[in-house]
Structure formats: C-alpha cells, structure tokens
Amino acid sequence: MGLTRAVLPIRFSPESKNRLRNLLNKHERMALVRAMLGDTIKAVTNATLIDSFTLVTPDTKFLANSPRSNFELHRSETIGLNEELTAYVNILHQKAAQSVIVILPDLPLLTGAILDELIAAGTESHRLVIAPDWRRIGTNILFFPLPLQIPFSFGDQSLRKHLASCKSAGLAPITYYSIETALDIDDEAALQRFFLSAQSQPAWKATNTYRTLWVDDENKWKLS
C-alpha cells in the first residue's frame, strides 16, 4: 500500500476547547491548542510509515504565520470539518495517494511508534482503522486506504456513526485503542486524568502540553 499521508485538521478560534472555559480563558485555551498540536506533529514526524503530512485549516492568520519547512498547509474553503476533510482527501486521491490517516491534533501522548503500529495494522489487512477517544464516544484517528468508502462523521457520537457507516458499506474496521490515541483533552475530566497519569509517567511530563500547564496548591489548572 506504500507510505501514508497524514491529515491534521486544525482550528484556532475563541471557541476552541470551549468546555475548558471555566478553567482557562480564551488566550490560555489557544496556547493549549498550540501545545497539543506541537505534540501531535512531533509524533507524526517520528512515524516511519507516514510519508508526509498536511495541516488543513480555514484560519488565514494561522496560515500566514506558520512555518512550512516540514509540512504542507491547505486552506479549507468549506464550512464544516467533515466537508473540508472530504474535499482534501478527494484531492489526495486525485494525486494518487494510496492511504490516509486523519488525526485530530489534540493528542499530547501520541507517539510515532503508536502511529506506526496503527498504520501497520490497517496496511497489512487493507482495512480501515478507527481509534476512539477515551470515553469510546468520539473518533480521534481514522486510517483508510483510498478511496474512502464511508463518509466522515467527526463530531458528536462520531465513533457510533463511523462504525454504522462501515457496517452499511460491508466493511469490517479495526478498532485500535491505546491511551496514547485515546486521551484527547477536551474538558476538565480529561485534563485532570492527563495530569494525574503524568505523575507516574516521566515521558508525559516532557510533552509540550504538560510544560504549558501547571497546577497550583489548590489543584487548579493554569498556564505557566
């Protein structure tokens, strides 16, 4: 199947990580988004089975201010996440890409080795691979050979929707679960789980995300 193209959809807006608004103001949430993006990009860069990757975004300011040395930037012309992914994956298919991995870039624990393991599972079986979030409700990563045979359903209840689409299409996807692919930081519960787990995991403390956040004596998350 050859090497895989990674696609990371990213948005920077005052509404980013809105479920953390009681802990972090909009500027702090933006800093958190950038830190998690940095951790995700590091993992993608370290994956040997990923040939190249693209950040897909509608945010012109981010496009203008981002370096382009090790990845491509694609400006989305559509409104919704699923629509922009569909449009860009169609472009990749026209360019004869063989397989794609869509990664939501809020996975601070993700590593290149984990991505290689996930991609190898899909490549060897020529099957779609779904990595759910830690609550097993959402979808954090989707690997598939082209052409994609199901619609993107990122958003509310995306795991159920992706699995239902696979069933309708007669596909037998692989469900890949690890804490590295599952722990997306979207709310206070995930943030606390990340911090508490990191106390026994030195590698987690080395992430951009952990270094960006700290906990005071009252156990309240703040930006350093």
Burial class (CB in 10 A: 0-12, 13-18, 19+), 126: exposed
Decide the pairing of beta strands 174-175 and 213-215.
unpaired
- Whether residue 198 lies inside any domain: the answer is no
Is 194 inside a domain boundary? Answer: no
Residue 63 lies in a domain: yes
Q: How many CB atoms lie within 10 A of CB 22?
A: 7
For the segment 141-150, what is each residue's pLDDT rounded down to a tens digit? 999 999 999 9
Q: Which of 92, 108, 87 is nearest to 38 (CA)?
A: 108
Q: How many domains does the chain have?
A: 1
The residue-averaged pLDDT of 80-107 equals 94
Write out pLDDT tens, residues 18-75. Answer: 888 888 888 888 889 999 999 999 999 999 999 999 999 887 666 555 555 567 888 8
CATH code of residue 68: 3.90.550.10
Whether 210 maps to a domain, the answer reads no
Tally the residues of the chain. 224
The verdict on residue 161 lying in a domain is yes
| In the chain, % of residues over pLDDT 70 | 89
Domain hosting 81: range is 4-185
Q: Examine residue 135 and state whether it is found in any structural domain, yes or no.
A: yes
